[in-house]
Structure formats: C-alpha cells, structure tokens
Amino acid sequence: MIKVNQLNLYIGKHHILKNINLNIEQGDAIALVGPNGAGKSTLIDCLLGNKSIASGHIDGQSLILNHHKTSVLYQHTYFTPNMKVIQIIRLFQSLYNNPLSLDEIKQITHFDETNLSTEANRLSGGQKRILDVSLTLMGRPEVIILDEPTVGMDTSTRKRFYELVQNLKNEGKTILFTSHYIEEVESLADRIVLLHKGEIVRDSTPRRIRSESHQKQIVLPRKYEIAIKGIAPDMTIKDDSILFVSRDVQPIITQMLAQGVNFNDVEITNESLLDRIFKVVEEDHNETV
C-alpha cells in the first residue's frame, strides 16, 4: 500500500534518516520505536510531506496526503482558548461527510455533559489527549498515524485507548504509531520497526524480536544469596531479592535444588521485549564503533 524506498534526509550537514526502506500494508499495526532522536517523528514528517527528502521515494504517498483517508495525531495537544469541547466537536464534524456521531465521541472519551460544556484547554492532560484521539478519528480514516498517543493519559484512559485501537485493528484500519511505552508496543503492534541513529535496525514482530535472545531471568529471595553464590557469580542484589540471567537454566536448576533452594520461591521469565530492544540498539552501536 505504502512503500518507502531508500529514503534519505539531511538537515544541514547532518544525515538524519539513512536509506530507509519500509512497507506498510493495509491492516498493519506498526510501532516505530527507538531512543530519543532516533528519527521516528522525522520519518512521520517525511511520510506526511512535511519535510523534503534528499533521495529515495515514497510509493503510495498520495494515500497519506488524502485527508479524507488518513488522519494524524501529533505529539502535542493544543486547543484554541475559550472554545468549549462541544464546539470543537461540532467544528470537526462539519469538516467530514460522514463524521463520528456525538454518541460515538462520548463512547471514546467517556465525557458527560459537564465535560462537553467545559473549555477544552481546561480539561486534564489525559482528557485532552483522548479528545484529541477522538478528533483524529472523526472522519473515519483508513490510515491512522499516532505520534506518542498516550502521553498524559492516566492508567484507565490508556487502557480504554488500547481497547479502541484493538477495535480499529479488527476493522482492518492501518495504524502507524510511535511510543516509549513498551507495554503499549506489546499490546498493539503486529510489527516493530526499531530506529537507531536514523537507520532501521530491526523490522520484525514483537515475538521474533524477543525470541532472538535465549536469556532467562531468574529471581529469588535474598535469603539464598550464600547458597547460590558459586552458581550465579554475576547476580544483582536488591533489597530483598537476587536477580541473574542465564542462557541455560537446566544445570542451574539442578545446582539450586542441591543447595536446598525451594522452587516455590523462584521466578524464571524470558528476557523482556524492552531488554531485548535495548540490546539490539547496543549491538548496533557496537557494530558501528
């Protein structure tokens, strides 16, 4: 549907985006992740035509530039002072042939009549953001681009947002979003595109990225510190627990049992997606040094 081919972007003498290749198919839910300054928002700006690329091309960009089929939520929320929520909703409804109804907006935002009659810039940060989300969806877009969508949301509002995005995925909408919340990425993304220093260093699924490492994380109470000292010399000691990692837990389990460790006290988990992403970035950095 949308294909980015060998995209390069310079700002002054700085090479900001480097040989970016990215396919976005209908129904994809793609998370752009990476450290601050990796190029996530800049790549979105290129897709939207807000920045002129130095080389490469974007096939299907006309779809993104069609404002009746594509909608964008930017990082920062801003509402015109003195405008009430209901006034902003009515304004946005007037821009589309088949806008969301007020009842649909209420379902997304959970706003009551008091919220609707409040000046929008007086809402809480989370309320402003979920209102922004509903306005982004006002025209029932087919392609939805979300730049840090849940910034400022409280836990319950973020949970509602996750449910909303899952419904959009079920409807076959195409979603591209950036996030620093790893649980958000794991919950919503079918693909993760990891950027580092302007380059795509991974384009894969959450499961595959996590499975690249066979490291297991082992946590047990600190009372076993002496018993396992020879088993786990590189353990991390916290206030009441011990943590260490291993690629082969079977011999460690055998040794811990021999030392009298009660396995009701032991927690063994796979390396988290966040840990794996950090390691991918670190590995890429080491390869380029």
pLDDT per residue over 218-277, tens digit each? 899 999 888 888 887 788 888 899 888 887 888 888 888 898 989 899 988 776 666 667
The answer to whether the predicted template modeling score (pTM) of the entire model surpasses 0.95 is no
Q: Which of 190, 210, 230 is the last residue of a domain?
A: 210
d(CA 289, CA 285): 6
Residue 248: HSE in the Cβ half-sphere, 13 Å Cα cutoff = 4
Residue 281: the pLDDT is 67
Q: Which of 181, 210, 239 is the last residue of a domain?
A: 210
131 plus 223 within the same structural domain: no
Residue 288 placed within a domain: no
Which residue ranges in the chain fall short of pLDDT 50? 285, 289
26 plus 55 within the same structural domain: yes
d(CA 208, CA 64): 29
Residue 268: the pLDDT is 85
218 plus 198 within the same structural domain: no
52 plus 189 within the same structural domain: yes
CB atoms within 10 A of CB 65: 13
